[in-house]
């Protein structure tokens, strides 16, 4: 069956890899991402390399109006979406008291509201297809509660619960729901540099977005409900279930604090005007790649 | 005309400096190691000892020059301190740009790599192809950031342009940066080569003399702010090894093995490298690349610069002749 896939956050990192992987599998694509993140160029690349249909919209999905516009557009065009990959998300590690609510609100708007709204509005289209798949991208953070990830982790927990619950509701229908919980992904230069500052165990769980995307799509189409990419990550995950609570808590705290510190180091070095690190700041990298 | 060449003790830089000198141009060669001076023995070459981190030494060497070939880079898969990649390749380039501005240089050629464009899909990549694959090694990241740094200066009127050689091979001083040369030497010595089963994977292999010529053409005809891929023919791994085997004219075996043992070996090597500082033979990133096409289209350099690609068989033959003579194999 030829799928028509809708991917949010498709212009970089994991989303870009989802797009390439879908095109390799001969799926038609509808891609969504923020303006000026190179989406038209990516669509051009896919169109010239693969014989698939590609359309796109550049929108900021933290705005509910834009989500509605997206759905209206897809419906007006009658795109037979049979595969929905809810990939767009924002994260980061922050001290709750120090950070502006705008940051947290964006996480809630994108990771929760947009994902729920788009899935809800697309349900009829998905149900109209012979068989359809939803792949929601949660995170390992949803399974390991640690400091500095309060809001991000909570939004990913939402995605996890939402997916599992919806999946049960749609059991024995033509729509399958998968939820993927990846650990670290070296999706852009700043993530790679951050991972380099971590200890060997945290570092070894970092995966290429290409691998995560291929694995995620493959397992979703095989109707796996819960997807954890990476043998090591899966191993740690299983192992952590056996640990006593206080040890688990300690371990998570150490890792999360380490990641937080790594982020702070990179951020501060950038601030001090060191040419290299400055370039590593997420936003610049986002625009560049 | 006087050209300033950095990395003149390296594989490509040495060849470029000598070629410029033979053409009758004056060359100021920046090198770090006095031992390398012997490779640059030509009346037209003036040697300056220095370092990309030492602005004073760059200023001294660039005095009186019109043009700059910034070839120097840390080009390898691994170093003890990965920050060295960023120091040499990024900060070094920033320093070079800064001094070139002071000296009112008329043209600045940055030698980068097709690795910044990354792997290809079904079509060959060109200068405009957006990067679709993630970055996995510090070399490519640092070179990519150096390109951005140069382009930013170009936007402010700096006369820079970029050339991007692909996988380089051919006669020259010993260097870790030519994988093909190392394969040939290994084959000459052991009569054996190991390649992955996925031998249909395409790469672009460029002859060092073509790249040297490409640099000179870029200096003469290249447009400011442009990028030019200086590559060679696109060949599958299998074709590459067949040509090597046939040109060597001696019996040898090409052993095909699956990628996964290579991957496990590379992960172990990487672990030993990170933990104990043991130089890895292969890295996981290298193994990943073995499974991805990296085909490139040089038509821009051919049409705009008059770039010429030496036929692959001919280039391999002369490389083998050179290497077997040099290593007495």
Cβ within 8 Å, pair A186-B91: no
Pairwise CA distance, residues B305 & B302, whole Å? 6
pLDDT at B276: 83
Q: Is some CB atom of chain A closer than 8 A to the CB atom of B328?
A: no
Residue of B nearest to A41 (CA): B130
Q: Is B101 a residue whose pLDDT tops 90?
A: yes
> Cα(first)–Cα(last) distance of chain A, in Å?
33
Cβ atoms within 10 Å of A281's Cβ, excluding its own: 16
**Quick one: B59 exposed, middle or buried, by C-beta within 10 A (0-12, 13-18, 19+)?**
middle
Confidence band, pLDDT 50/70/90 cuts, at residue A278: very low
Give the DSSP per-residue string, B135-160: P--HHHHHHHHHHHHHHHHHHTT--E
Pairwise CA distance, residues B213 & B196, whole Å? 33
Q: Is B265 a residue whose pLDDT tops 70?
A: yes
Residue B327, token pair as written in the block: 């290593």
Kindly report the nearest CA distance between residue B134 and chain A, in angstroms: 6
Confidence band, pLDDT 50/70/90 cuts, at residue B224: very high
Which of A185, A189, A190 has the highest number of chain B CBs within 10 A, making it the mutation to test binding with B?
A: A189
The side-by-side arrangement of strands in the sheet containing A226-227 is A54-58, A28-33, A4-8, A83-86, A132-137, A175-180, A226-227
Helix (H) or strand (E) holding A249: helix A245-271
B-chain CB neighbours of A45 within 8 Å are: 121, 129-130, 132
Q: In the predicted model, what is the mean pLDDT of residues B211-227?
A: 97
A-chain CB neighbours of B121 within 8 Å are: 20, 24, 45, 49-50
Q: Is some CB atom of chain A closer than 8 A to the CB atom of B98?
A: no
Q: What CA–CA distances, in Å, run from A57 to A8, A10, A146, A234?
A: 10, 10, 36, 35
Q: Is some CB atom of chain A closer than 8 A to the CB atom of B260?
A: no
Q: What are phi and psi of B318, to 5 degrees?
A: -70, -30
Residue A236, token pair as written in the block: 């740690």
Contact status, residue B249 vs residue B269, Cβ threshold 8 Å: no
Nearest CB to A42: which of B86, B94, B130? Answer: B130
Nearest CB to A200: which of B82, B122, B275? Answer: B275
pLDDT at A288: 32
B-chain CB neighbours of A287 within 8 Å are: none
Confidence band, pLDDT 50/70/90 cuts, at residue A263: confident
Cβ within 8 Å, pair A208-B131: no
Long-range contacts of B187-190 (CB under 8 A, 24+ apart): B187/B244, B187/B245, B187/B248, B187/B252, B188/B248, B188/B320, B188/B323, B188/B324, B188/B327, B188/B329, B189/B327, B189/B329
User: Torsion-angle region of residue B129: left (phi > 0), alpha (psi -120 to 50) or beta?
Assistant: beta
Confidence band, pLDDT 50/70/90 cuts, at residue A185: confident
Kindly report the nearest CA distance between residue A208 and chain B, in angstroms: 7
Cβ-Cβ pairs closer than 8 A, A with B, add up to 59
Cβ within 8 Å, pair A50-B122: yes
Q: CA torsion angle for B197, B200, B202, B206 (degrees, to 10)?
A: 80
Which of A184, A276, A288 has the highest number of chain B CBs within 10 A, making it the mutation to test binding with B?
A: A276
Q: Is some CB atom of chain B closer than 8 A to the CB atom of A209?
A: yes
Helix (H) or strand (E) holding B323: helix B312-326
Across all residues in chain B, what is the average pLDDT?
92
pTM recorded for the entire structure:
0.88
Give the tens place of pLDDT for each residue, B116-133: 999 999 999 999 999 999
pLDDT at B105: 96
Q: In the predicted model, what is the mean pLDDT of residues B70-85?
A: 88
The DSSP call for residue A1 is -
Q: What CA–CA distances, in Å, run from B9 to A192, A259, B103, B172?
A: 31, 40, 23, 11
Which range has the top average pLDDT, A138-152, B145-159, B185-199?
B145-159
Enumerate residues 170 to 199 of chain A having a beta carbon within 8 A of any beta carbon in chain B.
186-189, 192, 196
Confidence band, pLDDT 50/70/90 cuts, at residue A257: confident
Kindly report the nearest CA distance between residue B267 and chain A, in angstroms: 10
Helix (H/G/I), strand (E/B), else coil: A278: helix
Q: Which residues make beta-bridge pairs with B254? A: B193
Contact status, residue A233 vs residue A182, Cβ threshold 8 Å: yes
Residue B312, token pair as written in the block: 């692959």
The sign one gets for the Cα dihedral B212, B215, B221, B226 is positive
Q: Is some CB atom of chain B closer than 8 A to the CB atom of A102?
A: no
Q: Is A120 a residue whose pLDDT tops 80?
A: yes
B-chain CB neighbours of A16 within 8 Å are: 132
Cβ within 8 Å, pair B94-A288: no
Q: CA torsion angle for B241, B242, B243, B247 (degrees, to 10)?
A: 100
Select the more confidently predicted residue: A226 or B283: A226
Enumerate residues 230 to 259 of chain B having a beta carbon within 8 A of any beta carbon in chain A.
none
Q: What are phi and psi of A150, to 5 degrees?
A: -45, -60
Give the tens place of pLDDT for each residue, B268-305: 888 888 778 888 878 888 888 888 999 999 999 999 99
pLDDT at A284: 32
Of A263-277, B55-69, B70-84, where does mean pLDDT reach its minimum? A263-277
Kindly report the nearest CA distance between residue A38 and chain B, in angstroms: 8
B-chain CB neighbours of A275 within 8 Å are: 90-91, 94, 149
Q: Whats the size of chain B, residue-wise?
A: 329
Across all residues in chain A, what is the average pLDDT?
87
A-chain CB neighbours of B136 within 8 Å are: 186, 192, 208
pLDDT at A273: 41
Cβ within 8 Å, pair B90-A276: yes
Q: Is some CB atom of chain B closer than 8 A to the CB atom of A16?
A: yes
Residue matched to tokens 């049960």: A168
pLDDT at B248: 83
The side-by-side arrangement of strands in the sheet containing B233-236 is B167-169, B202-207, B233-236
Nearest CB to B129: which of A16, A17, A45? Answer: A45
Residue matched to tokens 């694959």: B133
A-chain CB neighbours of B149 within 8 Å are: 275
Cβ within 8 Å, pair A200-B271: yes
Q: What are phi and psi of B34, to 5 degrees?
A: -55, -25
Nearest CB to B130: which of A45, A188, A210? Answer: A45
pLDDT at A197: 67
Select the more confidently predicted residue: A257 or B220: B220
**Which residue, B80, B98, B77, B206, is CA-closest to B142?**
B77
Q: In the predicted model, what is the mean pLDDT of residues B259-271?
A: 86
Contact status, residue A133 vs residue A221, Cβ threshold 8 Å: yes
């Amino acid at each position: 069956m030829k799928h028509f896939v809708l991917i949010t956050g498709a212009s970089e990192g994991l989303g870009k890899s989802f797009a390439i992987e879908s095109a390799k599998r001969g799926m038609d694509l509808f891609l969504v991402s923020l303006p000026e993140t190179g989406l038209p160029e990516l669509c051009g690349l896919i169109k010239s390399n693969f014989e698939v249909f590609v359309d796109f919209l550049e929108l900021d999905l933290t705005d509910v109006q834009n989500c509605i516009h997206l759905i209206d557009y897809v419906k007006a065009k009658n795109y037979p979406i049979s595969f929905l990959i809810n990939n767009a998300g924002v994260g980061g590690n922050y001290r709750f008291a120090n950070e502006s609510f705008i940051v947290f609100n964006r996480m809630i708007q994108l990771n929760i509201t947009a994902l729920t709204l788009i899935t809800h509005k697309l349900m009829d289209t998905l149900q109209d297809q012979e068989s359809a798949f939803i792949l929601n991208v949660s995170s390992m953070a949803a399974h390991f509660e640690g400091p500095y990830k309060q809001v991000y982790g909570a939004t990913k927990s939402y995605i996890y619960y939402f997916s599992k619950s919806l999946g049960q509701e749609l059991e024995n229908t033509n729509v399958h729901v998968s939820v993927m919980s990846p650990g670290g992904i070296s999706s852009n230069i700043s993530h790679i540099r951050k991972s380099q500052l971590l200890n060997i165990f945290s570092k070894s769980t970092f995966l290429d977005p290409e691998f995560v995307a291929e694995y995620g799509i493959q397992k979703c189409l095989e109707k796996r409900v819960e997807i954890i990419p990476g043998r090591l990550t899966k191993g740690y995950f299983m192992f952590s279930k056996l640990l006593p609570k206080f040890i688990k808590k300690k371990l998570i705290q150490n890792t999360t604090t380490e990641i937080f510190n790594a982020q702070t180091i990179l951020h501060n070095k950038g601030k001090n005007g060191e040419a290299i690190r400055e370039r590593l700041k997420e936003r610049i990298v986002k625009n560049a790649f | 005309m006087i050209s300033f060449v950095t990395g003149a003790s390296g594989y490509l830089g040495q060849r470029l400096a000598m070629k410029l000198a033979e053409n009758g141009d004056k060359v100021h060669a920046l090198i770090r190691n006095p031992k390398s001076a012997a490779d640059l023995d030509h009346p037209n070459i003036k040697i300056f000892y220095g370092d990309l981190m030492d602005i004073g030494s760059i200023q001294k060497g660039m005095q009186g020059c019109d043009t700059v070939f910034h070839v120097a880079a840390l080009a390898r898969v691994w170093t003890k301190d990965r920050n060295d990649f960023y120091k040499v390749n990024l900060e070094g380039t920033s320093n070079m740009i800064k001094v070139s501005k002071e000296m009112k240089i008329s043209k600045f050629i940055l030698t980068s790599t097709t690795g910044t464009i990354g792997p290809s899909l079904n079509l060959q990549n060109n200068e405009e192809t957006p990067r679709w694959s993630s970055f996995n090694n510090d070399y490519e990241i640092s070179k990519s950031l150096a390109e951005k740094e140069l382009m930013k200066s170009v936007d402010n009127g700096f006369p820079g342009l970029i050339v991007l050689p692909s996988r380089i091979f051919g006669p020259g001083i010993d260097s870790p940066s030519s994988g093909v040369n190392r394969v040939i030497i290994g084959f000459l010595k052991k009569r054996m080569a190991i390649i992955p089963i996925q031998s249909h994977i395409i790469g672009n292999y460029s002859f060092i003399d073509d790249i040297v010529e490409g640099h000179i053409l870029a200096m003469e005809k290249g447009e400011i702010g442009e990028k030019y891929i200086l590559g060679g023919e696109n060949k599958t791994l299998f074709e590459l090894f067949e040509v090597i085997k046939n040109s060597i004219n001696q019996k040898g075996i090409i052993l095909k093995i699956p990628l996964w043992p290579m991957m496990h070996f590379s992960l172990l090597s990487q672990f030993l490298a990170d933990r104990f500082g043991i130089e890895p033979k292969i890295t996981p990133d290298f193994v990943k690349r073995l499974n991805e096409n990296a085909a490139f289209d040089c038509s821009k350099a051919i049409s705009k610069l008059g770039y010429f690609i030496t036929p692959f068989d001919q280039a391999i033959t002369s490389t083998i002749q050179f290497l077997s003579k040099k290593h007495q194999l």
